[in-house]
Structure 1
């Protein structure tokens, strides 16, 4: 039998990794929309601002926003793993 507290560290790690991958998805949307960017995600918006509009400031600010969203999630994940004694 598998007990949830035994695999809680794995669940937290996998869910954090999946969340980060979802935020950084670019290639799937680009291929599926044939480069038309009908679907807006933050990574696609950064690409459009940088290469289509040559708006480097806005693209950089979007990258910083992505960083500000991802880093706290990673910090919480690391704290939870250390609290459980998994990362010793």
Structure 2
């Protein structure tokens, strides 16, 4: 993952992730749409971030600058989350 995107790995919750992703992407323009979905894969808690920038040019610059890829027309970043308490466990479901 790109060094700037590594900052996303340190977010303790989805609200912090949303704020940090907006901040990281802001140097390329304006985030027009952002959907963050919690996910779990092989016991690892993740967040799938699907987003669009305000223009195709901004999206291309972000893809080139951060190494972000497109999936189904949207830009996507997968973040490994480090749960920090019950709130994150509630989002991902219990491991019992």
Give yes or no for TM over 0.5: no
Q: Compare the two structures and name the one with the higher helix fraction.
A: 1
TM-score by length of 1: 0.32
TM-score by length of 2: 0.30
Q: Compare the two structures and name the one with the higher strand fraction.
A: 2
Structure of greater Rg: 1
